[in-house]
Amino acid sequence: MHSRSSIRDLRRAEALQLREHIASLERELAQKASSSVSKVKLAEIGQQLRWHKVRLEILRECVAGMSNPDDARQPQSSRPPNGGSFEGRGR
């Protein structure tokens, strides 16, 4: 079993990779928006970007909860359990 600090370090590393990927997608979106790329491709990049930002926020909450054990006892947000999606909720 992994220790609390090793899991936190893994989540931080994952968050760093995710930030880098988000930055790459944002550059790609800006570049393709100025060229003649189909709206479908732009929408696909935008959807990936939104999902990665949601995942990054989940990781931030996870790391914050692991950094301060007192916060772990606080009620969770309205986020669906087990990292579920918000499909059908108008988002």
pLDDT at 56: 92
**pLDDT > 90: percent of the chain:** 25
The pLDDT tens digits for 21-54 are 999 988 888 887 777 677 888 888 889 999 999 9
In three-state secondary structure terms, 23 is helix
Within 8 A by CB and 6+ apart from 62, the residues are 11
What is the C-alpha to C-alpha distance for residues 23 and 19, in angstroms, rounded to an integer?
6
**Domain segments of the chain as ranges:** 4-69
DSSP-assigned letter for residue 71: G
For residue 87, the model assigns a pLDDT of 45
- pLDDT > 70 fraction of the chain, expressed in percent and rounded: 71
